[in-house]
Structures are given as C-alpha cells and as structure tokens.
Amino acid sequence: MGGAVASVDRPERAIQAQADQGTTEPVDFALIGHQESWRAAADVLAALRGPDRMHLPDDEVKDILPWIPPRTVCHVEVGSILPTKIDGPTGATAHGLYIDSFIPPDRLEATHVHENIARVRGAAACAIRAGARIVSLGGFSSILIEGNFDQLPDRRDTVFTTGNTLTVGFIVQGMKKMCVLEGRDLRKSTLLIVGATGDVGSGCARCLAPLVKRVLLSARNVERLRRLAAELRIDEVQVEIATDCLENNLQRFSAEADLVICAASLASPSHLWGRIAPQAIVCDAGYPKNLSPNAQMPGAKIFFGGLGQITGGLRFRPDFHGILNRHPFPDVVHGCLLEGMALALAGRFEPFSQGRGFITQKRVEEMETIAAGHGIYLAPLYNADGPVGDGLHGQTEWSRACGDGLMEQAEVPSAKTEKTAKTEGMARIGVS
Amino acid sequence: MNTVGRMEPLITVNCSTMECASLSPSAPIWQDVLAQAMTGELIAAMNYTSLSEICDDPNELADALEHAQIERGHAARFAVEGRKLGVDVSNNVDAKHWKRLRDAFLGCITERDFIGCLIVQEIMLESFAVASYARVGKVAPGSLGKTFSSIAAEEEEHVDHAMSILRAERALDAPRFDDKVYRLHLDVMTTLAKMLAKECRDGHCEVCHGNCVKPSLFEVSLSAAELRGASLQQYLKTLDMLGIPGEVTLTWVAQLPV
C-alpha cells in the first residue's frame, strides 16, 4: 500500500515502541473513539468473534463490553490524493490505529465522567505506547479532555488534538450547504447554537456569527455565555444569550431560530423536542447523533453535522468496513478523527486543536485547506432517515463548489476520479 | 507427578467455637464461593509442586516450593473462614473444569516447559484469582472480605514475580512467545470462560454443594457476569503488561465461549 507519510523522520522512541509491540509498521496517527450504540458495540464484538461463532446476545454484550480495557481494535490506513515522489500517482498514505476506550454507550452522562476520563486516559496511554505521532480524540473523548489536557498521561513524542477545528469546519460547511439546498439566505437568518460555550459550539459561533442576521446562544454556564457574546459583539453581531436553566428563554429562542446547531454534549437533547420552528434547518452536531426528523422535530430539516469524507481511500485491518463507520456513504468519518489523519498526511504532527474556546475562522480555514489538500471534504449530508439533498448522489464535489470558495484554493483533482483510482483493491467502509 | 483426587479433608484447621457465628442465610452461598476458591488454591499448590520437579535452577525450585506452600496456606485460610460462618468448605480438584485446568498445566510439565507453566499459572489462573477474589473481598462481610482481599493482593505479587521472567522471554522471540500464549489460551481460557459463564451449560460443576451457586450470587451483591468481566479484564491487562498487542488479545478474548 505504499509507504507511510513520507519524508517525515520517525523519532527513535516511536521506533522502539513498534519494536516492543513486535511490529514494524509505523504509527503516524491514532484515533481514540467509542461506540455510540449497543448495536454498534455488538457489531464490533461480532466482527472480532468472526463469522463462525454465534453473535453474542444483547445481554452478554452489555455484560462484557464495560469490562474491556481501552485498546487497539484495528489498524487504519488513509490515502491522500496528493501524489508523492515515493508513492507515485497513487498518493501518500498514513498508517494509524483505531483505539476504542470502550465507554459503554449508556454511560455517557456526567455521572460517569471520572470513569470515562480514566478510560480516555487508558486509550491515550495505548496510543503513546504504540508510538503514535498524533492522536485525535473522537466523540466524548474530546469533550472529556478538551479542557483537561493535563489529565492525559506523559505524552513523550505523541501530540494530541481534539479534532474540533475540522469538526467546526464541516458543521459550518454543512450549514451553508443546507441553506443553499433549501433556498435560505444566511444573511437573513437567526442562528441558535445549543451548547454554545463548548469548543465546537463557540467555534461555530465565531465562524457563522458574522454571516447571519442574529445569533442566539444557549449553554449552561452563564459567565461563559456572556464572555462569548461580548466577543462576538465586538464585530457588531446581534447576540442574545439564554442558559439552559431558563426554560422560557430557550423556548423562545427555539421558536425564533431558523438555523439551529445542536453542539451540546447531551445524550438526548430532549429539551429541544417540539420547540424548534417548523422548517428550521437543524444541524445535529453532537455525538451520538440522536435527533430524528420525524419523531422529534416534525417539519425541521435535520442533518448530521461535522462529518467528512476521505476520497483518497480508507482501509481497516482487520476489515471493520461498515462496522466502525456506520454512515450511508463510503469512507465517511467524524471531523474530529479526520483532523488527526489530515495532519498526519500533511506531516504536521502538532496539537492543532487543544483547550476550549480557541477555534477561530482563520484556524478553521487553515485546517480545511490541509484536509482538502489530501482529498478530505465535507461528507454528503444525511440524517437518521437517509440522505439529504445532493447526498442522494453520495458525491463530494458539491462541498468544493459551494460555500466560501475555500476548497477551490486547494487545487485538488476531481474527487470522483481520485476515488475511483484509489479505492481499487481497498476495503470500503460505511456503505449501508 | 502429583495427581490428587478429592482432597477433603486434606486441610485440617482448628477453629474455636467462639469464632463461629450462627448460620446466616447467605452462608450456603459463601460456602460454595469458598469451595471454588479453596479448590483453585489447592490446584495452584499442586501446580507449583509439579513445577518444582522440573526446575533446574535451585532458586527457581525454592521459589516454586515456597509458592506451593503459600497456596496451601491460602486454602487453609479459606477453610477457617468457612468455619467462622459455620460451614464446612469442601474442595474437589477432580471437578471437571478444574481437572482440565490441571491437565493443561501438567501438559507443560510433561514437556518440561517452564515458561508454559508460568503462563498457565501466573498469567491465566492468577488473573482469575486476583480479579475474582478482589471482587468478593469488596462485598463479603467482616473477616471473610478481608481474607479474600488480602489473598488477592498476595496473588498479585505472584504475577509480578513471573512478569519479569516472561517479559524477558518474550523479548527473545515475540511471535514465538505470543503463539505459545495463544495455544495455551485456547485450552485454559476456554475452560475458565466456561466456568465463568453466566450459566453452567455443561451441567453441574462438581464443586458447588447443591445447585449451582451462580443464580444466587446476587443475594451477596455479586454476579457471575461481574466475576467473569473482572477476571477477563485482569487477564487482558496482564497480557498488556507482557507486551502482547492489544488488538490481538482483544480478539482472543472476544472469541471465548459465553
């Protein structure tokens, strides 16, 4: 499959880590994640058991999974569309690991925060031991750690990124795309961000606030809300705030907004159900994705935000195709994980996204350019009912053709052409 | 080679009547838990005694004999705890699962495979003992809980002792070492997984004094699923310490019977 991302000298410690593991394959990146549902967890265990053994009954899955210590589940190889001298026209590749923290899907609430941080720490330790050069924190992993990087183990030569910058980029791109598809004018829109003071929520606010008529911010911490609102008002943005505790305010906000980004780390954002204005465009930017168009928000145009698609090829070993990536389109991955892969492909082993509240439009553009340069674009849009808009065709060209034109600057080849070339002989993931 | 049949009353201990409490409703449950633990300790004692017979190094021989003595001491302490509860703690080293585990160890003895012996006893059986004793220690009342916790800690020291030897062995030839662990895993851990399954699908375990104790464990705040989970977690962590790749051991454990 070609060499690792090339031209990047591997530190001695990383080489020693491979020797300890009895492997010779470099670990350019590691992806830390967890399963978002018991169904997904059962499928992972079924794949590990192999086709000849019976699938575990649901009760056994729930009994077994919480006891599994964080560990590598599979090797991951990601391809770039950017040709290199070493790899020739097939493009560079980066090698990595998918490490599952095995946070049980029903233990995402705050009551389990200490246990879950311990699991993320354990997963981080696995990545460090393996000599990974950059680690992306997926799903709740980044939420748990974004404000607590000091809780990660001794990092040696490994750097960590929450991946939130690229997540914000894809959320913003998705919102722009939906507005075009639905014939909405961003400049006349009222945008509500739920979970506005989080890293992702505040990043979305900074990127979209200058583009809309009015911004409504909702979160639990009123002081952080005030600080963010004050920051946005410097640019003369019309901003109002509401804490989640003030039900009346949030109810009013929900009814007034025609664009909504749900970026709150909620297992189930039930307080929004039935309150969103009909025909509002709603981006489910949380993890797990749990907003359903018909049952919870009739009339709303919901899409799952923060997802990107790799056009240079993605392979798992062993083959977890369709299991670790449960999307209706091939090679779709959460933006937070894609950030680490894109940085690895670019040979930029740096903690691009760290801490909370530092994501700016400029940083998002920088990250999008890095990703696009290696063929990583906004994924076709979809929701729990299936594809949305041009997602029906499952292509990625649109994402480069719309929005602020950023993607064209990367001068990337046709995604469709590259995908055809790169995916021959490669296992595909995420095909429903 | 030591092959000992039903060992009751191998252990004789004196327990004053003052120490014996009146029989509590949970006593029959603890009786079975203790019977499993005592049987495991006696198997361990027999394994170390067998190991001493293939040790060429006098220090290793002394260590093996010392460990055998310690395991017999653990069995005796479990017997004492039974008497405090007012129950006799039986044991059966010929019970079907335990006998298979013993046979797996004896297979390594036959091959004079010192490393294989350590893998079976220290990595596999001790993982089970350390984790399950620790869980029992958390919920068992009074001295019973303290005894389980204390023995769990001592068993953990055994694992630490073996770890340096095994890590050094793996450093010589990791693929060969990992193959050996996997071969033994298939035999030993499959048997342990059956023992730890939520239900005994192969009939009576031949250690419990009446019906299977597993369905009653909830009455003492335990469950078979919890003991299995904790044991497999300990096993995976121990394999991690050896340096065997996590994705490999995850597959091994995922493929065990339930």
Q: Quick one: closest CA in A to B171, which residue?
A: A20
Tell me: the pLDDT tens digits for B1-36? Answer: 333 333 333 333 334 434 444 678 899 999 999 999
pTM for the complete prediction? 0.85
Tell me: the pLDDT tens digits for B36-46? Answer: 999 999 999 99
Q: Do B236 and A45 touch (CB under 8 A)?
A: no
Predicted confidence band at B188 (pLDDT cuts at 50, 70, 90)? very high
Q: What's the average model confidence in pLDDT over B131-158?
A: 94
Q: Do A48 and B236 touch (CB under 8 A)?
A: no
Q: Is the dihedral of CA B7, B9, B14, B15 positive or negative?
A: positive
Task: Note whether A319 and A427 are within 8 A (CB).
Answer: yes
* Residue-level pLDDT at B8: 39
* Residue from B178, B196, B250, B253 whose CB has the most chain A CBs within 10 Å, to mutate: B250
β-partners of residue A332 are A309
Q: What are the extents of the domains in chain A? A: 12-165+307-382+409-422, 166-301
Q: What's the average model confidence in pLDDT over B154-174?
A: 91
Q: What CATH superfamily classification does A166-301 receive?
A: NAD(P)-binding Rossmann-like Domain (3.40.50.720)
* Residue-level pLDDT at A203: 97
CB atoms within 10 A of CB B70: 18
Residues of chain A with pLDDT below 70 are: 1-24, 84-90, 244-249, 265-274, 290-298, 390-432
**Would you mind telling me the total number of residues written for chain A in this entry?**
432
Q: What are the extents of the domains in chain B? A: 94-254
Share the mean pLDDT of chain B. 89
- The distance from CA B257 to its chain's CA centroid, rounded to whole angstroms, is 19
Task: Note whether A46 and B258 are within 8 A (CB).
Answer: no
Say yes or no: A132 contacts chain B, CB-CB below 8 A: no
First and final C-alpha spacing in chain B: 33
Task: Note whether A51 and B225 are within 8 A (CB).
Answer: no
Of the candidates A48, A67, A69, the beta carbon closest to that of B251 is on A48
Say yes or no: A126 contacts chain B, CB-CB below 8 A: yes
Chain B, window 175-234: residues with a beta carbon less than 8 angstroms from a chain A beta carbon: 175, 178, 198, 225, 228-230, 232-233
| HSE-CB of A200 using CA atoms within 13 angstroms | 34
Q: Do B245 and A74 touch (CB under 8 A)?
A: no
* Residue-level pLDDT at A1: 33
Q: Do A67 and B254 touch (CB under 8 A)?
A: no
CB atoms within 10 A of CB B193: 17
Tell me: the pLDDT tens digits for A215-260? Answer: 999 988 889 999 999 999 998 889 998 876 555 667 777 778 999 9
Q: What CATH superfamily classification does B94-254 receive?
A: Ferritin, core subunit, four-helix bundle (1.20.1260.10)
Q: Is the pLDDT of residue B203 over 90?
A: no
Task: Note whether A194 and A221 are within 8 A (CB).
Answer: no
Cis-peptide into A351, omega within 30 deg: no
* Residue-level pLDDT at A11: 52
Cis-peptide into A104, omega within 30 deg: no
Say yes or no: A115 contacts chain B, CB-CB below 8 A: no
Q: A332-334 and A93-100 as β-strands: parallel, antiparallel, unpaired?
A: unpaired
Q: Do B245 and A23 touch (CB under 8 A)?
A: yes
Q: A29-33 and A93-100 as β-strands: parallel, antiparallel, unpaired?
A: parallel
Most confident region among A147-151, A158-162, B180-184, B215-219 by mean pLDDT: B180-184
Residues in chain A closer than 8 A to B229 (CB atoms): 63-64, 66-67
Residues in chain B closer than 8 A to A66 (CB atoms): 229
Q: Do A72 and B229 touch (CB under 8 A)?
A: no
Say yes or no: B167 contacts chain A, CB-CB below 8 A: no
CB atoms within 10 A of CB A375: 28
Say yes or no: A50 contacts chain B, CB-CB below 8 A: yes
* Residue-level pLDDT at A231: 95
Q: Quick one: closest CA in B to A129, which residue?
A: B243
Q: Is the pLDDT of residue B133 over 50?
A: yes
